[in-house]
Amino acid sequence: MCLAIPGKILDTEELNGIRLGRVQFGGITRHTYLDFVPDAHPGDFVLVHVGFAISKLDEAEAARTYELLEKAGLVADELGPEAPE
Protein backbone atom coordinates (compact mmCIF):
# COMPACT_ATOMS: atom_id res chain seq x y z
CA MET A 1 0.00 0.00 0.00
CA CYS A 2 2.83 2.39 0.80
CA LEU A 3 4.48 1.33 -2.44
CA ALA A 4 6.26 4.24 -4.10
CA ILE A 5 8.21 4.04 -7.35
CA PRO A 6 11.08 6.28 -8.47
CA GLY A 7 10.54 7.96 -11.83
CA LYS A 8 12.06 10.78 -13.89
CA ILE A 9 10.14 14.01 -14.52
CA LEU A 10 9.85 14.68 -18.27
CA ASP A 11 7.89 17.93 -18.20
CA THR A 12 5.61 19.99 -15.95
CA GLU A 13 2.44 22.06 -16.43
CA GLU A 14 -0.15 23.96 -14.37
CA LEU A 15 -3.77 22.80 -14.51
CA ASN A 16 -6.46 24.58 -12.41
CA GLY A 17 -3.74 25.81 -10.07
CA ILE A 18 -2.33 22.30 -9.59
CA ARG A 19 1.18 21.34 -10.71
CA LEU A 20 1.26 18.21 -12.87
CA GLY A 21 3.94 16.51 -14.89
CA ARG A 22 4.70 13.48 -16.98
CA VAL A 23 6.92 11.06 -15.07
CA GLN A 24 8.74 8.16 -16.71
CA PHE A 25 9.11 4.79 -14.94
CA GLY A 26 11.26 2.58 -17.14
CA GLY A 27 9.12 2.22 -20.28
CA ILE A 28 5.90 3.64 -18.78
CA THR A 29 4.91 7.31 -18.55
CA ARG A 30 2.26 8.58 -16.12
CA HIS A 31 0.76 11.96 -15.29
CA THR A 32 1.77 12.74 -11.73
CA TYR A 33 0.81 15.45 -9.23
CA LEU A 34 3.88 17.49 -8.33
CA ASP A 35 2.40 19.91 -5.76
CA PHE A 36 4.30 18.28 -2.90
CA VAL A 37 7.70 18.60 -4.62
CA PRO A 38 7.85 22.30 -5.58
CA ASP A 39 11.63 22.14 -6.07
CA ALA A 40 11.54 19.18 -8.51
CA HIS A 41 12.04 19.94 -12.19
CA PRO A 42 12.32 18.04 -15.49
CA GLY A 43 15.27 15.64 -15.27
CA ASP A 44 14.87 15.12 -11.50
CA PHE A 45 13.85 11.76 -10.04
CA VAL A 46 10.85 11.67 -7.70
CA LEU A 47 9.26 8.95 -5.61
CA VAL A 48 5.63 8.50 -6.72
CA HIS A 49 2.80 7.11 -4.56
CA VAL A 50 -0.88 6.91 -5.69
CA GLY A 51 -0.27 9.48 -8.41
CA PHE A 52 1.60 11.98 -6.21
CA ALA A 53 5.32 12.68 -6.01
CA ILE A 54 6.09 12.51 -2.26
CA SER A 55 9.85 13.04 -2.34
CA LYS A 56 12.56 14.29 -4.64
CA LEU A 57 15.38 11.76 -4.77
CA ASP A 58 18.72 13.07 -3.66
CA GLU A 59 21.12 11.91 -6.38
CA ALA A 60 24.25 12.75 -4.38
CA GLU A 61 22.99 10.84 -1.31
CA ALA A 62 21.97 7.89 -3.52
CA ALA A 63 25.45 7.75 -5.04
CA ARG A 64 27.03 8.00 -1.59
CA THR A 65 24.84 5.23 -0.14
CA TYR A 66 25.66 2.96 -3.01
CA GLU A 67 29.37 3.64 -2.63
CA LEU A 68 29.12 2.81 1.06
CA LEU A 69 27.26 -0.37 0.22
CA GLU A 70 29.92 -1.36 -2.23
CA LYS A 71 32.58 -0.64 0.36
CA ALA A 72 30.67 -2.70 2.94
CA GLY A 73 30.65 -5.49 0.38
CA LEU A 74 34.40 -5.23 -0.13
CA VAL A 75 35.04 -5.26 3.60
CA ALA A 76 32.95 -8.42 3.94
CA ASP A 77 34.86 -9.98 1.03
CA GLU A 78 38.14 -9.16 2.74
CA LEU A 79 36.96 -10.97 5.84
CA GLY A 80 36.97 -14.13 3.77
CA PRO A 81 34.42 -16.91 3.64
CA GLU A 82 32.38 -17.52 6.72
CA ALA A 83 33.36 -20.29 9.10
CA PRO A 84 31.11 -23.36 8.79
CA GLU A 85 28.30 -23.49 11.33
Partner 1 sequence: MKYIDEYRNPKLAHSLVAAIRHTVTKPWVLMEICGGQTHTLMRYGIDELLPPEVELVHGPGCPVCVTALEIVDKAVAIASTPGVIFVSYGDMLRVPGSSSDLFRVKALGGDVRIAYSPMDAVRIARQHPDRPVVFFAVGFETTAPANAMAVWQAKREGLTNFSILVSHVLVPPAISLLLESPANRVQGFIAPGHVCAVMGYTEYEDLVARYRVPIVVGGFEPLDLLEAILMLVKQLEEGRHELENQYVRSVTRQGNQAAQHRMMEVFEVADRNWRGIGPIAQSGFRLRPEYAAHDAEKIFGVESLHAPEPPECISALVLQGIKKPVDCPAFGVRCTPDQPLGAPMVSTEGACAAYYSYRRHSLVVVA
Least distance CB 2 / partner 1 (angstroms): 4
Q: Which residues within the stretch 49-68 sit at the binding site for partner 1 (CB under 8 A)?
A: 49-52, 54-55, 57-59, 61-62, 64-66
DSSP string over 10-59: EEEEEETTEEEEEEEETTEEEEEE-TT-TT--TT-EEEEETTEEEEE--H
Q: Is 69 helix (H, G, I), strand (E, B) or coil?
A: helix
What does the binding site for partner 1 look like in residue numbers (CB under 8 A)? Answer: 1-6, 8, 16, 18, 25-26, 33, 35-38, 45, 47, 49-52, 54-55, 57-59, 61-62, 64-66, 69-70, 72-77, 79, 82
